[in-house]
């Protein structure tokens, strides 16, 4: 009986399955002195990155890999003039099977009061519990931030953004997924071309735009800073404290504009347009959509 030849695809799939199921073959741990108020910089060509806060005056760095790190990467964990740097860079250019199999995770624990700057080209990024400004970016995964005091900047071209408990300004942008924000005290800018935007607990001005879904914004009681909210891919719902003053300008080319707020209209209005003042007017609240209707609701 003639034997069947195994296709290249079967061999490739077997390699990937074995790599995914095998335990980590390499790890690296290092602790460096780090004073509160210093800066953490992570620059990685691949890998998921998680940064958390602790009450010690040092940075504890753990790097785990599915294979020997030194085969493909130059790894450096070192002190800088203003903090700690973690660097993971490819040794060789171009594509290889080892890159496909390689799975890397970087975990860093830092003093609570730390400025954080993270960029990875091949994984997700998580940050929790720090006090200080933070900038997080990835070309290939989700970004999640929780309980951070300071101005936060988030960027991903390949995933979702989730931000919770931000005491400061938040600037979030993705081209590949939704944005979910729960609690932000400062100005918020959220932009996505690939999903919905859901915001609750907005205490300041909101600038939110999506071309890939709907938008929901819930301001906190007493918040009167307004904002600019738009969508070309879905409807918009905005919850406002009925006791604040705002100047409302809402228009839709994809559905009706509805409101249960006591807005004193001005000029000509229609089923798809609403312009007027809430409690005598105030900061502008501009809403536009071409992908659905608009609903203004009382908190």
Token pair 């199921």: residue: 21
Integer angstrom CA distances of residue 258 from 92, 252, 261, 274: 58, 10, 9, 8
The confidence score (pLDDT) of residue 15 equals: 38
The confidence score (pLDDT) of residue 72 equals: 77
Global pTM value: 0.88
The confidence score (pLDDT) of residue 197 equals: 97
The number of residues in the chain equals 299
The confidence score (pLDDT) of residue 198 equals: 98
CA of residue 33 relative to chain centroid, distance: 29
The confidence score (pLDDT) of residue 93 equals: 56
Per-residue model confidence as pLDDT tens for the chain (299 residues): 333 333 433 334 433 443 444 444 478 999 999 999 999 999 999 899 999 999 999 999 999 988 777 777 899 999 999 999 999 998 765 544 444 456 899 999 999 999 999 999 989 999 999 999 999 999 989 999 999 999 999 999 989 999 999 999 999 999 889 999 999 999 999 999 879 999 999 999 999 999 889 999 999 999 999 999 999 989 999 999 999 999 999 999 989 999 999 999 987 578 899 999 999 999 999 999 998 999 999 99
């Amino acid at each position: 009986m003639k034997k069947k030849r195994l296709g290249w695809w079967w061999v490739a799939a077997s390699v990937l399955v074995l790599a995914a199921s095998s335990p980590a073959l390499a790890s690296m741990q290092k602790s460096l002195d780090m004073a509160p108020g210093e800066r953490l910089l992570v620059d990685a060509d691949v890998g998921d990155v998680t940064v958390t806060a602790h009450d010690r005056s040092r940075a504890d760095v753990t790097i785990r890999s599915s294979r020997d790190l030194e085969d493909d990467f130059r790894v450096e964990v070192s002190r800088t003039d203003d903090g700690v740097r973690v660097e993971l860079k490819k040794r060789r250019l171009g594509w290889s099977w080892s890159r496909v199999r390689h799975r890397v995770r970087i975990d860093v624990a830092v003093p609570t009061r730390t400025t954080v700057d993270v960029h990875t080209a091949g994984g997700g990024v998580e940050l929790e519990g720090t006090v200080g400004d933070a900038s997080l970016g990835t070309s290939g995964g989700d970004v999640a931030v929780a309980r951070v005091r300071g101005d936060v900047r988030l960027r991903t071209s390949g995933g979702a953004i989730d931000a919770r408990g931000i005491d400061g300004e938040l600037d979030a942008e993705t081209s590949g997924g939704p944005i979910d924000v729960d609690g932000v005290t400062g100005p918020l800018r959220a932009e996505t071309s690939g999903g919905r935007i859901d915001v609750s607990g907005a205490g300041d001005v909101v600038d939110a735009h999506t071309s890939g879904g709907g938008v929901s914004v819930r301001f906190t009681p007493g918040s009167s800073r307004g904002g600019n909210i738009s969508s070309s891919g879905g409807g918009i719902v905005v919850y406002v404290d009925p006791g604040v003053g705002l100047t409302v300008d809402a228009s839709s080319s994809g559905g009706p504009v509805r409101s249960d707020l006591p807005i004193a209209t001005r000029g000509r209005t229609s089923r798809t347009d609403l312009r007027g003042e809430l409690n005598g007017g105030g900061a502008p609240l501009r809403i536009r959509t071409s992908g659905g209707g608009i609903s203004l609701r009382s908190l």
